[in-house]
Amino acid sequence: MAAAQKSAKKRPAASQGGPKPKKAHVEKPAKSHAEKPAAKSDKKRSRPVTLPTREAESAESDLEGDVEDEGLDAMNEDLEQDEYAMDTEDAPPTQNQIQKDPEAARESHRAQKVLQEQRRAAKPHSTLLADAKRVWSLANAKDVSATDRQKHIQELMTIIRGHVKDIVFKHDASRIVQTVVKHGRQKERDEIAAELKGKYKELAQSKYSKFLVTKLIRLCPTHRPSILKEFQGHVLRLLLHREASSVLADAFELYTNAYERTLLVRDFYGKETALFTVTSGTDEDKERARKGLAGVLEGADPDRRKRVLASMKEALTSIFNNSDKGAVTHAVVHRALWEYIVAVNSSSDEADAEKQLREIFEVCQDVLAELVHTKDGSRVVREFLARGSAKDRKQILKVLKPHVERMCIDDDAQLVLFTALDVIDDTKLVIKTLIPEMTSPAQTLVQTAQGRRALLYLLVPRTRRHFMPAQIALLAETDEIRAKTSKKTSEVREAEVRAGASEALIKWVKDKGALLLRETGASLVVTEIMLFADGDKTGAIETLLRAASAAYPCAEEDAPHPIDLPHSARLYKTLLQGGHFNRSSGAIGQSPGWNGAAFAVKFVEEVGKEVVVAMCTKGERNGAFVVAELCEALMGKEGDEAKEARKTLKGWFGKEVVKEIEGGETKGKKVLVEKIAAL
């Protein structure tokens, strides 16, 4: 057996007669002009935060690239197995059996080749497939010109026309059809889509043809409604199917419009609703369909409403009870779940609504981490957090805790974390379980905008300085419920969360502040930590001032002085001011947890005369503005330390230094001279 396997490995891939397996990843060629109509091809389906990093990268690569490549490895493996079985079944003796006789070996190979050709010829459409593979190898070549490729595509289309439905289920022929769809013109794509009509449900369940279905949904918008119509009535079964599940997920999240998405969700409403054919109804019927479940229940009597919700609950329960099938991660399921929760909450019977919400929570509580990466799934988990009891919230945190870092860098998932910080009264539990998972990877999180928002929410939640109005509006959706289910005021809860996160964040600045200064986004986070965090910031202040006290100008061109970086210069100015400038009031909003004058005193002591004067005389960018703010911070301040620092600073700028500043090219020199004179 081992010898036979070794022999099989040595056989060249060309002898297989099908598409050659790719041994290593190669960069995909630039897309041809024929692919330009696919305006949405650059989209990616949302990935669950529970997906391990390695799998996540693979999934992202698949969704960004060509979908038919996803099944390439499995297809090549099947090709090798088929060929190996073809060669070894009823085959002549192996080399070991004939004791390595060269003549006998040649005879054995000839016999194997004849047997292989006979078996191929006996298969249906063998001649058609042989011709198609020959042309396919030319059309799919990487170094072929666009003109020649189109010529080969036309020839390939001539060969398979009228037989696409017969050959598309074969694993090797499926790639041939996909190549025509990928490189062909819209005319060829539409022709193939029309020829496959009536087979899309079956194709979606095929290990290889499912990629063709996704491509046709993406590239043939005129045929998309008819393709999706073939799925109606079978959506739940397809979602639980290993192969078809990803087809529906891609279609729902990437390629369909709002109306087409409602048609896919419609199967969750039960058979009674499915009997009503919206696609052939009036405009009023279609308008109701666009509203989803709300449109279906509009004007419905209590009994019908009860039947529809019962059908939805049954469908959702079957999905969540079979979480190993992967459907729980798909946006189409999350949309149905959110519609169900909205309908339940709008019920006039509060006791019954609470009971139904409790039952659906118990069904999906163990897989909530699979929901947070989509808009609707995030809203579902946030609703559970807002309406749940203390025990429910503790269970939710337990499920989410292993995935907090990944949630911090996901736009939708991080809203769940923010809602948890907003509504959970047990801040000791939050400080113990949630906050350490957010602050420990701060060095990683600060590299992305989403990660920075997660860190900032611990200190300055919902500030318009860092959060967009749309994000604030989404977070405010649970405020009304929070007022009923939470006992603490938002101010008290925010203060406790801030206190719980401060120590770790201040220590992070103390250890990494010199590096963070040089990153634009990171400097924004450092500013907020220094202004609003609670606790002793002496070590962090020393780190920041040590970086500013470096020799000026810096000798290394690739590592400029912090004052010459616009973002770090802004950080020092803001800290000297004592807070951020408020445009509405036209004044500086002083931070209650920060003393700008004390920082100015430390600045004078740590940075020193040589560097401060050099910033004003040798700098060309930001130094003059920072020193001007330093002068402003010390003006009129009481206390011996402030008076001594002001006196020291004024002594540094004698008449000769001021004259040198006035004659230099430093930006802001006029403002600086005025501030020096006012000392």
DSSP secondary structure of 429-493:
HHHHHTHHHHHTTHHHHTTSHHHHHHHHHTTSTT-TTTS-HHHHHHHGGGHHHHHHH--S-HHHH
- How far is Cα 192 from Cα 179, in angstroms, rounded to an integer? 12
**Tokens of residue 465, six digits:** 């300085």
- How far is Cα 597 from Cα 634, in angstroms, rounded to an integer? 6
- How far is Cα 528 from Cα 458, in angstroms, rounded to an integer? 10
Q: Look up the pTM and report it.
A: 0.83
- The amino acid that residue 206 corresponds to is S
Q: Which residue ranges make up each domain of the chain?
A: 67-96+109-231, 537-678
590 by DSSP, 3-state: which? Answer: strand
579 by DSSP, 3-state: which? Answer: strand
Name, in order, each residue with C-beta under 8 angstroms of 353's C-beta and a sequence gap of 6 or more: 344, 345, 347
pLDDT at 40: 44
**Tokens of residue 471, six digits:** 């994000």
Q: Can you list the alpha helix ranges (DSSP code H) found in 89-170?
A: 102-122, 126-139, 146-160, 164-167
pLDDT at 32: 40
- How far is Cα 661 from Cα 658, in angstroms, rounded to an integer? 5
Residue 551 has what DSSP assignment?
A: -
H or E element at residue 306? helix 302-321
- How far is Cα 291 from Cα 657, in angstroms, rounded to an integer? 72
Quick one: CA torsion of 477, 425, 345, 340, rounded to 10 degrees? 80
The low-confidence residues of the chain, meaning pLDDT below 50, are: 1-41, 57, 60-91, 95, 97-98, 277-280
Which residue bears the tokens 């087809």? 247
Start-to-end C-alpha separation, the chain: 92
**Tokens of residue 375, six digits:** 């808009």
588 by DSSP, 3-state: which? Answer: strand
Query: Beta partners for 589?
Result: 580
> Which of 449, 492, 453 has its CA nearest to residue 475?
453
pLDDT at 395: 95
**Tokens of residue 337, six digits:** 């779940």
- The amino acid that residue 267 corresponds to is D
560 by DSSP, 3-state: which? Answer: coil
Specify whether the CB–CB gap between 528 and 459 falls below 8 A. yes
- How far is Cα 586 from Cα 64, in angstroms, rounded to an integer? 47
- How far is Cα 80 from Cα 75, in angstroms, rounded to an integer? 9
- How far is Cα 175 from Cα 189, in angstroms, rounded to an integer? 14
- How far is Cα 19 from Cα 76, in angstroms, rounded to an integer? 8
How far from 635 is each of 209, 431, 572, 630, 657, CA to CA, in Å?
76, 40, 17, 9, 20
pLDDT at 12: 41
The long-range contacts involving 182-187, CB below 8 angstroms and separated by at least 24 positions, are 182/35, 182/66, 182/68, 182/215, 183/32, 183/34, 183/35, 183/139, 183/149, 183/150, 183/153, 184/34, 184/150, 184/153, 184/157, 185/34, 185/150, 186/37, 186/219, 186/220
- The amino acid that residue 512 corresponds to is K
- How far is Cα 59 from Cα 61, in angstroms, rounded to an integer? 5
Q: Note the pLDDT tens digit of each residue in 413-444.
A: 999 999 999 999 999 999 999 999 999 999 99
> Which of 422, 436, 429, 372 has its CA nearest to residue 395?
429
Answer whether the bond into residue 52 is a cis peptide, omega within 30°: no
Provide the b/e sequence for 129-158 (b: ≥16 CB within 10 Å).
bebbbebbeebbeeebeeeebbebbebbbe
> Which of 43, 50, 53, 54 has its CA nearest to residue 377?
50
| Phi/psi of residue 92, nearest 5 degrees | -65, 170
**Tokens of residue 428, six digits:** 């000791």
pLDDT at 629: 93
pLDDT at 101: 67
> Which of 67, 80, 60, 89 has its CA nearest to residue 13?
80
